[in-house]
Amino acid sequence: MDRQKNPLFLFGINPVLEKLKSSPQEVFEIMIVEGHQRAALHLIDREAKRRGLNVRYLESKLLDRLANGRKHQGVVAKVDSYSYCLFADLLQDLSSSQGHDSVLILDGLTDPRNFGALLRSAEGVGIRHVVIPKDRSVGVTPTVVKTSAGAVHYLKIYRVSNLRRVILALKEIGYWVVGLDAGANEGVYGRVYPEKLVVVLGAEGTGIRPLTRKECDFLVSIPMRGKIASLNVAVAGGIFLYEILRQRSSV
């Protein structure tokens, strides 16, 4: 099979550099703006050549085209298409792990920037596993990778057809499920969270879908004191994830 049949074009200094560090075997080619002077681009140039990768120097307008007009910071990488992990492997991994190993479930996010920001926060607090639905949800795109600052390269992302079945399977191996819901009476700071925890975040605007919400063991909300009733899902999710990290760090 031709691995370059459906390549992705990653762009941005951090995403490309992290890709080179984490999985250089999936990189086909590095393209850098000609005449560059930035130290970070020199670093990418050296790292790519050290790993035996082809490096080309192109005009900025050609990089603009490859990045679909988005801010590429002078570098684009042609890489293998993203490979999602198998949910069966997640169950096996969690069943054999000791202590806490949280799972993040994103129920129908459609904005790649929100998705990328949440992946960055998840990786920052030490979460390794992220589950997303196949339908009505954004997948891993170059914009997601760019917004995550390359954090996506250090996460295992699972794309599944039925979130409810996923939640039930995780419950069977001892995990508790908490959903972040703007209408919940209990605040995120009012509960001590179990070690084996599944965190569910809903879509922009609509929140967690009813069938998914029904399977949550409890729901919590971010306390609001101003006139605005809710937060962006990426901001709210980041607050919640770092509260969980704070609790575990203080134990």
The yes/no answer on whether domain 8-79 falls in CATH 3.40.50.970 is: no
Mean pLDDT score, 83-104: 86
In this prediction, residue 193 carries a pLDDT of 93
Question: What does the pLDDT read at residue 248?
Answer: 86
Q: CATH 3.30.1330.30: which residues of the chain? A: 8-79
pLDDT attached to residue 4: 54
For the domain 87-249, what is the CATH superfamily, name and number? SPOUT methyltransferase, trefoil knot domain (3.40.1280.10)
What is the Cα gyration radius of the chain? 20
pLDDT tens digits, one per residue of 147-195: 998 899 999 999 999 999 999 999 999 999 999 998 899 999 999 999 8
Angle at which helices 13-22 and 39-50 pack, to 10 degrees? 20
Backbone angles phi, psi at 246, to 5 degrees: -60, -45
| pLDDT, tens only, 18-48 | 999 999 999 999 999 998 888 999 999 999 9
pTM of the entire predicted model: 0.87
Range(s) of the chain covered by CATH 3.40.1280.10: 87-249
**114 pLDDT exceeds 70?**
yes
The pLDDT of residue 27: 95
pLDDT band of 117, cuts 50, 70, 90:
very high
Pairing of strands 176-180, 197-202: parallel
